[in-house]
């Protein structure tokens, strides 16, 4: 049921308003609680942490929605650390992380989707922080 459950979760986090998200969560609970009650309970338990996202415009939400870049970075850093068994001191770890970050950054060549629209919203929400 993974694909069906994931499809029914999308209306929650893709809702344009908090009210739509709450209605989508209720619909999800009604449909899936008999089989998977823990899923909706997790959403309900952490709802106070979820709802601030609905204060942001959709263009910003699309940019901050995914953690793929962060997960990719963490995976790359773990791979570098894993190949070294012992570090002589803390400074050597920092040096290795610095060099690894420089090498990882060279591979970042894809632009962030919807970045220009989100940047415009950021400039409005946080005046004085952007010079573009």
> Which tens digits make up the pLDDT trace of 13-28?
889 999 999 999 999 9
- pLDDT above 90 (res 104): no
- pLDDT above 90 (res 114): no
- pLDDT above 90 (res 117): no
> Phi and psi (nearest 5°) for 4?
-65, -40
User: What mean pLDDT comes out for the span 3-21?
Assistant: 93
Vertex 77: Cα angle to 106 and 80 (nearest 5): 95
Which pLDDT score, from 0 to 100, does residue 132 have? 61
For residue 57, name the pLDDT band (cuts at 50, 70, 90).
confident
Enter the tokens of residue 70: 């962060």
- pLDDT above 90 (res 8): yes
Neighbours of 37 (CB within 10 A): 11
For residue 119, name the pLDDT band (cuts at 50, 70, 90).
confident
- pLDDT above 90 (res 105): no
Q: What is the mean pLDDT of the chain?
A: 87
**Position with higher pLDDT, 109 vs 25:** 25
Q: How far apart are CA 101 and CA 76, in angstroms?
A: 9
Domain ranges of the chain: 1-54, 62-125
List C-alpha distances in Å: 131 to 18, 46, 57, 91, 125: 32, 36, 21, 35, 14
> Phi and psi (nearest 5°) for 75?
-65, -40
User: What mean pLDDT comes out for the span 2-13?
Assistant: 93
Q: How many helical (H) and strand (E) elements, i.e. helices and strands, does the chain have?
A: 8, 0
Residue 16: helix, strand or coil by DSSP?
coil
């Amino acid at each position: 049921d993974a694909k069906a459950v994931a499809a029914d979760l999308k209306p929650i986090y893709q809702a344009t308003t908090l009210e739509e998200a709450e209605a989508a969560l209720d619909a999800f609970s009604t449909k899936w609680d008999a089989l998977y009650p823990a899923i909706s309970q997790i959403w309900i338990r952490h709802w106070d942490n979820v709802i601030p996202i609905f204060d942001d415009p959709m263009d910003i939400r699309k940019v901050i929605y995914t953690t793929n870049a962060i997960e990719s970075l963490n995976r790359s850093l773990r791979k570098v650390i894993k190949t070294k068994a012992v570090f002589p001191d803390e400074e050597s770890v920092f040096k290795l992380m610095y060099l690894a970050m420089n090498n990882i950054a060279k591979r970042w060549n894809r632009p962030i989707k919807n970045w220009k629209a989100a940047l415009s919203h950021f400039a409005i929400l946080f005046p004085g922080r952007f010079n573009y």
